[in-house]
Chain A
Amino acid sequence: MIDALIFATLNGLLTGLLLFLLASGLTLIFSMMGVLNFAHASFHMLGAYCAWSIGQFTGFWPALLLAPLLVGGLGALVERYGLRHVHRAGHVAELVFTFGLAFVIEQAVQSFWGPDTKNYQPPALLDFPLFTLFGQDFPAYKAFMLLISLGIFIGLYAVLTRTRTGLIIQAATTHPQTVASLGHNLPLLHTLVFGAGSALAALAGVLAGPVLGTFPGMAATLGSIVFVIVVIGGLGSLTGALLASLLIGLLQSWAIAVDLGMPDLLHWLGVEFPVDHPLRDIWRLNLPQLAPVLPYLLLVLMLIFRPSGLFGRREG
C-alpha cells in the first residue's frame, strides 16, 4: 500500500508539473487576450510529433530545442494572421476559431503522421532506472522531466517578475490601454506571448511524448484537463494554475493507486444490495474507475460554487 502511494505521489507530481507547462501558457494567453485557446493542447501534440520527426534525423537532444521553437513560430503566425483577424468579431468567435483550429490540427496530424502511436523513445542517455524502491524502478527520464518542468517554472516566474518584458506583460494583463499609450507595441506583445505559450506547450509535448504516448488523440485527452486546471486555478492566475495542476495530477494518480470504492463503503456501513439491483453500476463504482471523471466533477462544482476559481480575480 505505502509503496504504491509513494509512486503515485511521484507520478502525480510529474503529471502535475507537465500539466503546469501547458496551463501556464494557456492562463497567460487568457489573461492578456481574454481568449481561452482550445488549440493549446494541439500545439502540445504538434510539439511531440515534430520532435519525433526531427529526432529521426538529429536524435533527441536537438529536437528538444528545435520542436518547441518551430511550434512557437507557428503559434505566433496563428495569432498574427488568424486570431487577430477574428478578434474584431468578439470572444465567442475567437473561442469558436480556436476550436476549429484544434479540429484541423488533429485531422492534419492524423492524415500526415498516421493514426497509430509513434514509437517515440526516451534518449539512450537517460534510459536507466534512477533508483529502485520496494522492487519498483523509477526511470531517470522521469526525474529529468521533473527537473526540466521545475526549471521552467522557476524561469517563467523569474522572467515575469524580474525582467522588464515580464513587467510589461504583467501590466498589459490588467491595464492594456495604459501600456499601449506608454508606447509599447501591444499587438506584438500578444503575438510574442501566444508564441511563447505555444512553445511551452510544445516543450511539454516533447517531454511527455515518450512517456504518455504520441498519438493523434493526445490533444483531445489533455485539452479538456488543461481547461479544467485553468478554470479551477482561477483564469489568469499563475499560482492558481500551479496549485490546480498539482492538485489534478495528484488526485488522478492517487485515485488510480487506491483501490477503494462504493463496495468498501457499503461494506463498512453494513449495507447489502442484491446483485441485479437497477442502480448496480453506482453501487459498484470504485476510485480507479472514477479517476478520469474527477477533474470534470471538480470543474463543475467549482463553476457552481466559486466561478472565479481558487485564485481568480475575475469571472470569465
Chain B
Amino acid sequence: MRHLLPWGIFALSLLLLPWLFPSVLGISILNEMAIAIVFALSYNMLLGQGGMLSFGHAVYFGLGGFLAAHAMLGMEQDGPVFSVTLIPLVAGIGGLLAALLIGSFSTRRAGTSFAMISLGLGELLAALSLILVGFFGGEAGISGDRSLGPDFFGFDFAQDRQVYALAAVWTFASTLLMYLFTLTPAGRMANAVRDNPERAAFLGYRVQRVRLLSFVVSGFFAGAAGGLFALHNEILSAQSLSTANSGNVLLMAYIGGIGFFIGPIIGAVLLTLINSVLSHYTDLWLLYLGISFVLTVMFLPQGLTGLLMMHVAPWRRGLLHTLLRPYLRTAVPALLCVSGLLALLETLHHQGEAVIFLGISLPGGQASNWLAIVLIITLAALDWHRSLPALRAAWQRATRGETP
C-alpha cells in the first residue's frame, strides 16, 4: 500500500491541476511541465542511474520531435493518417533508433569520454540541422496540424486541454515505466556499472551492453517527450535539439536531485515554473537560474530532493520542531542578504534607471543608494555567518537524537 501512495498523489495531481489552473496560460504551462518531466526523467536514467553525463540529450528529444512534426505534416499531405495519440510513440521509436545508432559507439566508456562524445554529437546535429533544410525546415522549422487525425473518443485535440489529457496520460505511463525499469535487473545493473564498472565486468556482465540498454530506453522516452512537445506546439525548430536545450535538462535533473527517482520531476516542475513565471518579473532570471545551479552543485550535491530527505531522520525522531527556531534565526539575515544582492544586481543591470524591487523604488545612479545596499548586504552577511554555529549545533542534536 505504501508504495502506491506516491503514485496515487501523482495521478491525482495530474487530474486536478487543470481544474485549478483552467486558463489558457495555465494549461499551456501544465503541458510544458508534463513534457519536461518525461524529458528530465529520461535524462536522469543516464546521469543518475547510469553514471553517464550527457551534454547532448536534446538530440533524441529533437529527432523524436521532428519525426512527430513530419508525421503530422504527412497527414496534411496524403501521408498515412492515424490517431495523434500514437504520435509520442512514433517519436519515441525515432529517439530509440537514434540512441541505438549513437549509443553503439558512445557507450563504450563513461565519464569524460562519454561526455565529450555526447557534446560533439550534440553540436554536430545542431550544426547539421541548419544545413539540412529539407528535414529540419531551416529557420522556419517544421509545422503540422495535430487535429487532422481521426477522432479519439470524441477528442480531436484541437484544444490545449485535450492535448493536456493526452500528455498527462503519457507522462503518467512513462513515469511508471521508467520507475519499473529501475527495479528490473537491467536497471539494477545500470547502478552497478555506474558505481564500479571493473567489478561489474569481472562478474561477467558486458558493461557496454548494460550502458547501451539504459541509453536506448532513455532515448525512447526523450523522443516521446519530443513528440509531446511537437503536439503541444505544433511546430518544431532547430532550437529543440540545440545544446542549450541539452543544458536545460541537465539543470532540471541536477537542481531536482539526480540521486532520487523523484528528483528530476521536482526539478522539471520548478524550472518550468521559473521559466514561465519568473521571466515576467526580471530580465536577469537566467542569471539567477545559473547562479542557483552553481550553488546547488557546490553545496547541495543531492539537489533539492536531497535537502528534503535530510530532514527525514529528525522527523522520524520527532525532533523536527527543534530545528524551527535556529532555521528562522538564520533565514532572516540570509533573506536580507540575498535580497540586498538581488537589488544590487538589478540596479547594476538597469544602469542609472530607477528599479522597482520588492515594491520599493530604487532610484539608480546615486552613490548613497549603492552604499546603503552594500552596507545592508555586509551587515546581513555578518549576522548570517554568526547564526550558523547555533544552527549546526541544533542540527547535530536533532540527527543524533539527543534532546536539548
Residues of A within 8 A of B (CB): 36, 82, 85-86, 89, 91-93, 95-97, 99-101, 103-104, 107-108, 110-112, 220, 224, 227-228, 231, 235, 278-282, 285, 289-290, 292-293, 296-297, 299-300, 303-304, 307, 315-316
Contact A112:B117 (CB < 8 A) given known A95-B53, A292-B127: no
Whether the pair B349, A307 counts as a contact (CB closer than 8 A) is no
Q: B296: nearest residue on chain A (CB-CB)?
A: A100
Interface residues of B toward A: which range?
35 or more
B332 contacts A by Cβ under 8 Å = no
Q: In the complex, which residues of chain B have a beta carbon less than 8 angstroms from the beta carbon of A85?
A: 298
Known contacts: A96-B297, A281-B133, A307-B109. The answer to whether A296 contacts B127 by CB under 8 A is: yes
B133 to chain A, nearest CB (A): 6
Give per-residue flags for B295-321: 1 if the beta carbon is below 8 A from chain A beta carbons, else 0: 001100100000000000000000000
Specify the main secondary structure of chain B where it touches its partner: helix
Q: Choose the segment among B77-85, B156-164, B285-293 that binds chain A (4+ C-beta atoms closer than 8 Å).
A: B285-293
A interface, by DSSP: helix, strand, loop or mixed? helix
| B:56-108 near A, CB below 8 Å | 105-106
Given contacts A95-B53, A290-B131, contact A104 B294 (CB under 8 A): yes
A315 to B117, CA, bound (A): 13
B328 at interface, CB cutoff 8 A:
no
Tell me, in angstroms, the Cα distance from A316 to B348 when the chains sit together: 41
In whole angstroms, how far apart are the Cα atoms of A186 and B294 in the complex?
Answer: 25
Contact of B132 among A89, A235, A282 (CB under 8 A): A282
Q: For residue B201, give the distance in angstroms from its CB to the closest CB of chain A.
A: 16
Rounded to whole angstroms, the CA-CA distance of A89 and B117 in the bound complex is 23
Interface residues of B (CB under 8 A from A): 47, 51, 53, 55, 105-106, 109, 111-113, 115-117, 119-121, 123-124, 127-128, 131-135, 243, 247, 250-251, 254, 283-284, 286-287, 289-291, 293-294, 297-298, 301, 345, 348-349
In contact, B293 and A100 (Cβ under 8 angstroms): yes
CA distance A285 to B286 in the complex (A): 37
6 contacts between A and B (CB under 8 A): A103-B290, A104-B290, A107-B289, A292-B127, A293-B124, A297-B124
Q: Is B297 within 8 A of A316, CB to CB? A: no
Q: Are A104 and B120 in touch, CB under 8 angstroms? A: no
Q: Do residues B116 and A36 form an inter-chain contact, with CB atoms below 8 A?
A: yes
Once A91-B111, A281-B132, A293-B131 are accepted as A-B contacts, the answer to whether A103 and B293 lie under 8 Å apart by CB is yes
Q: In the complex, what residue of chain A is closest to B53 when comparing beta carbons?
A: A92
* Contact of B116 (CB < 8 Å), options: A279, A297, A303: A303
B383–chain A nearest beta-carbon distance, Å? 21
Q: A95-B53, A110-B286 are in contact. List 6 more A-B contacts (CB 8 A).
A: A86-B298, A100-B290, A103-B286, A231-B116, A235-B112, A300-B121
| B residues less than 8 Å from A227 (CB atoms) | 116, 119-120
Q: B111 contacts A289, CB within 8 Å?
A: no
Known interface pairs A86-B297, A300-B121; A293-B247 also in contact (CB < 8 Å): no
The answer to whether B124 touches A316 (Cβ under 8 A) is: no
Nearest CB in chain B to that of A279: its residue? B134
Nearest to A290 among chain B residues (CB) is B131
Measured between beta carbons, the chain B residues less than 8 angstroms from A36 are 112, 115-116
Given contacts A36-B112, A296-B120, A297-B124, contact A99 B55 (CB under 8 A): yes
Q: How far is the CB of B142 from chain A (nearest CB, A)?
A: 13
Contact A307 B113, beta carbon cutoff 8 Å: yes
Q: Are B298 and A285 in contact (CB under 8 A)?
A: no
Alpha-carbon distance between A110 and B115 when the two chains are bound, in angstroms: 27
In whole angstroms, what is the CA distance A280 to B133 when docked? 9
Nearest neighbor of B291 in chain A, beta-carbon distance: A104
Interface centre among A93, A96, A307 (most CB of B within 10 A): A96
The residues of B that contact A103 with a CB separation of less than 8 Å are 247, 286, 290, 293
